[in-house]
Structure 1
């Protein structure tokens, strides 16, 4: 069953490498028949959080915030692509995420982490797991951890070498897990509206 999936990415760095993983995921999920859109925090350009979307009077939120809120509400699932900064999460992606709350509720989320080194951003993925759960999403058990990113995906987001082959092999389970939870959430929502 085709689903609407947002792939969210948050690096603001000049020579950002994680965009390779974000683009790979968009392409692979689209190939599986999904309606996929990349949400690049840098391109959206939200300011540092002052007021959440819900804190604006109806119709008065800045245009970028209003547009993104509509996309989040319309999505069936989310994939968060995160690098690791000093054992933590990227501030750009966290800032974008924190502008919303109820808009995220009752949908599954998947985490794909990366780094320039061998640890593949897994510590950031661990931090995101708790954050996304607190924000009302069901975080799937499968995750992708990619590192070193430059040895896994080339500049056009194509898998390369042994690391790229390992990514391709692990992607199938990751995608199938996300699809199962997405279909389950859609089926339940069709039967019973969420309790809040």
Structure 2
């Protein structure tokens, strides 16, 4: 099964790639998925600019076609997401809205980061949004509060012992759901 680990922040100076690289290594060590690190910034998605509703899959732009292929290929998702003003990053919301069927019947979890809440307020909103495109968000996740304390001068992220231990359990559960939902995607 294929896992897309999606870096949801696209802003300059972001730390999402550092956290994404750590989690990608954890997913590779876990072995339950073929893990791919996917950076939303690489798709350069403008504010939704397709002339047709995503349900029609009549994409006109190359950036949408590339994004569609990436999402379609995955059996599960982990969203590496910050919290901006108690909300999801706009790039996440925009990327979600570009597609519909490609998301359907796949599970998702989160590696969230931020200040005191560790990004959990954004995750709660993201879970609600994901259900509208038929994604099953699971409760198991990794939260990183006060993330700045775990990033060094070279922007390398070092997890706490608890975060490192949470990752395999989350991946175990995500693999169970991905396997269980696979017949719905056939």
Provide the TM-score with structure 1 as the length reference.
0.83
| Alignment partner, residue 93 of structure 1 | 92
Residue 153 and residue 27 in structure 1: after superposition, are their counterparts in 2 closer, same or farther (change >3 A)? farther
- Determine the C-alpha separation between the residues in 1 that align with 2:110 and 2:29: 19
**1:69 corresponding residue in structure 2:** 68
CA contact (8 A) 2:27 2:168 kept: no
Match of 1:109 in 2: 108
Gaps of at least 5 residues in structure 2 are none
Partner of 1:171: 167
Contact 2:113-2:145 at 8 Å conserved across structures? yes
Moved runs in structure 1, 4+ residues, more than 4 A? 52-56
Which 5+ residue runs of structure 1 have no aligned equivalent?
Answer: none
Measured at CA, do residues 83 and 70 of structure 1 come closer, stay the same or move farther in structure 2, by a change above 3 Å? same
Are 1:9 and 2:7 matched, yes or no?
Answer: yes
Show the counterpart of 1:26. Answer: 24
Partner SS, residue 130 of structure 1: helix
RMSD: 1.9
Aligned with 2:82: secondary structure?
Answer: strand
Q: Aligned with 1:50: secondary structure?
A: coil
Once the 2 structures are TM-superposed, how far is the Cα of residue 38 of structure 1 from its aligned partner?
Answer: 2.0
Contact 1:17 1:150 in 2 (8 A): no
How far is the alpha carbon of 1:151 from its aligned partner?
A: 2.5
Structure 2 equivalent of residue 156 of structure 1: 156
> Does the C-alpha gap of structure 1 residues 180 and 165 become closer, same or farther in structure 2, counting only changes over 3 Å?
same
**CA deviation after TM superposition for structure 1 residue 89, in Å:** 0.7
What is the aligned length? 181
